[in-house]
Amino acid sequence: MSLRVYDLAHSRTGDKGDTANISVICYREEDWEFLQRELTTERVMKAFGHVAGGPVRRYELRNLKAFNFVIENALGGGVTVSLAQDIHGKSLCNVMLGIELPDRGPTDA
Amino acid sequence: MKGRTVRIGSGAGTSDDRMTPALELAQRGKIDYLVFECLAERTVARENLARSKDPERGYSPSLHERLRMVLPVCTDKRIRIVTNMGAANPIGGARAARREARELGLGDLPVAVLLGDDVSEIVRSRPGLTLLENGEPLESLLPRLVSANAYLGADAICEALATGAPIVLTGRVADPSLFLAPMIHEFGWSYDDLPKIAQGTAAGHLLECTASVSGGCFGWPGKKEVSDLARLGYPFADVTADGSVTISKTPGSGGRVDVMTCTEQQIYEIHDPTNYITPDCVLDITEIRFTQETEDRVRVEGARARPRTDMYKVTVGYTDGYIGEGEVSYGGIDAVARAKWAADVVKERLRLRGFTYEDFRVDLIGISSLHGDTGDRPEPYEVRLRMAGRTPDRRAAHALGFEVRAMHLNGPGGAGGACEPRVRDVLAVKSLLLPRALVKTQVVVEGTP
């Protein structure tokens, strides 16, 4: 099976209005730079394209070996008006964890 | 005084939060303060509607059960309670709290009430205020406005703490401010002392969702183990005058407090991590360090902040029609095909009856209800059709669930388990900024302090 974000990091979703923020937190310090290179906003938006309008912004939290992805137009207009079952988008971090990553070269492993 | 530690516990992180962990925290946690955070974005709007029907109501309905549970032990151990359960009627909430105390035989318990977050009159006279979400003037919402509340900060809560009352009851305040206020009150921190305000705000953010920092919303079998999740304990912070913070949880409870749980909660609901705006400061979490001191005990260091802005964030609540919902299940051979057929039939019947919707949604629970439809997911053995629509017409909202339920007799074969048609009032929220100078806060003590 190919490498997924799930194999390298854990994640939680937060909500504010129609915007979801999804953290990606490395289990191991040494994976942060690989994710910095490969878990681009383009790759993330591709995975969320059928759920969220975007755009997506990525913030780096090197000290916490983490990233914060902020995805706009992601919650059906916002918690208070959304027709979704999961109005807060709490489960969206699982889309993030399922994103497949390219194989790492021997120097990254 | 430098060595003195104040321990602040978190007893609720939403109005629907669990009850008994707060009691266990009060009984066994050796806490000085117990904070209940019970107001989601639209809760004040909802409680304003409740108050408009009955002037005695409008505070958090969970106030009775929560206070009945913890007041005896909090009174006995002199634990002060700080909570936003006042919602849209803090004075009414204070009277209810005092009635609970009397009925428990605890006598005449004074309650300090913070007023001033309700800025509906102020914003009504300023229709040109700009809504942050869409840049439009507030004016368009005014006919449907049900509430406008400023997120007050720790300074205002401190005025209520200064009365000495064992219970402090507020309406809308920023969540971290509920926790920062006891720190400022105990240690006399100045707003110019930004490293301390930053540490206190970061601690408040870690605590404000209770179990979310102590092993809730976290576990994953085989990957992220959480021991004794059923008896998950709620967290507290130990804070000293120099701004040092450690996070832990009720001794002997389930759950876990470690660097992983703290990191998840610290980033939760934050956008730009260098720019988290609260009424007390602009927090920067990018230099924060978490260190595991002992089991279930994490040191928090390195929070930074810039000075608070001169604006309050205000949430305005307004009515925005109705949401109607219906669900019905299909199982076995061709379950998905029958569910999709049913959805088409319901849509056509609603159209034939002349109903229209501003927004409409079809979910196949088991395939596409949480993460949208990628078109390539395997078909499950059974599927639950869910349809939802938003409309200004209450009859149209009801018709949706009615037509879904009718799939029992009037749809494709083998439908089962439809729910009753559901209709709920939509209370939408938007935000704006209001200059601090326009907002006047006031503390009123119910009873004799």
* Record: fold of A5-97: Alpha-Beta Plaits (3.30.70)
Contact A61 B285 (CB under 8 A): yes
Question: Do the interacting molecules here have an ipTM over 0.90?
Answer: yes
Given a contact cutoff of 8 angstroms between Cβ atoms, the answer to whether B390 and B323 are in contact is: yes
Chain A CB contacts of B265 under 8 Å are 12
pLDDT (tens digit per residue) in B377-430 = 999 999 999 999 999 999 999 999 999 999 999 999 999 999 999 999 999 999
Closest alpha carbon within chain B to A76: B359
Smallest CA–CA distance, residue A53 to chain B, in Å, is 12
Unique residue bearing structure tokens 């608070």: B308
Element (H, E) at B316: strand B311-331
- The mean pLDDT of chain B is 97
Given a contact cutoff of 8 angstroms between Cβ atoms, the answer to whether B21 and B211 are in contact is: yes
Q: Which two tokens stand for residue A5?
A: 């974000």
Chain B CB contacts of A68 under 8 Å are 267, 270-271, 273
The class of domain B317-427 in CATH terms is alpha beta
Residue of A66, A80, A94 lying closest to B41 (CB–CB): A80
Q: Residue B449's pLDDT is what? A: 67
Unique residue bearing structure tokens 């991590």: B273
Residues A3, A103: Cα–Cα separation, whole Å: 7
Smallest CA–CA distance, residue B321 to chain A, in Å, is 9
Domain boundaries, chain B: 5-117+152-309, 317-427
Closest alpha carbon within chain A to B316: A80
pLDDT (tens digit per residue) in B127-152 = 999 999 999 999 999 999 999 999 99
Given a contact cutoff of 8 angstroms between Cβ atoms, the answer to whether B282 and B276 are in contact is: yes
Residues B364, A80: Cα–Cα separation, whole Å: 22
Contact A14 B269 (CB under 8 A): yes
The strand pair at B382-391 and B311-331 is best described as: antiparallel
The strand pair at B80-83 and B167-169 is best described as: parallel
**Confidence label for B344 from pLDDT (cuts 50, 70 and 90):** very high
In the sheet that B245-249 helps form, which strands lie side by side, from edge to edge? Answer: B289-294, B297-301, B245-249, B235-240, B5-12, B33-36, B80-83, B167-169, B111-115, B442-446
Of B322, B345, B326, nearest to B401 by C-alpha is B326
Q: Is the pLDDT of residue A108 over 80?
A: no
pLDDT (tens digit per residue) in B16-37 = 999 999 999 999 999 999 999 9
Instruction: Report the percentage of chain B scoring pLDDT > 90.
Output: 96
Chain B CB contacts of A12 under 8 Å are 217-218, 264-265, 267-268
Domain boundaries, chain A: 5-97
Amino acid letter, B445: V
Mean pLDDT of B339-353: 98
Q: Please say whether the dihedral angle defined by the alpha carbons of residues B192, B193, B194 and B198, taken in this order, is positive or negative.
A: negative
Closest alpha carbon within chain A to B368: A51
Smallest CA–CA distance, residue B371 to chain A, in Å, is 6
SS3 (DSSP) at B252? coil
Residues A35, B94: Cα–Cα separation, whole Å: 51
Contact A63 B302 (CB under 8 A): yes
Residues B390, B324: Cα–Cα separation, whole Å: 7
Q: Which two tokens stand for residue B218?
A: 């976290």
pLDDT (tens digit per residue) in A59-83 = 999 999 999 999 999 998 888 899 9
DSSP state of B130: B
**Confidence label for B52 from pLDDT (cuts 50, 70 and 90):** confident
Residue of B260, B270, B426 lying closest to A81 (CB–CB): B426
Unique residue bearing structure tokens 């949480």: B370
B145, HSE (Cβ side, Cα atoms, 13 Å): 23
Higher pLDDT, B131 or B449: B131
SS3 (DSSP) at B250? coil
pTM: 0.96
Q: Is the pLDDT of residue B436 over 50?
A: yes
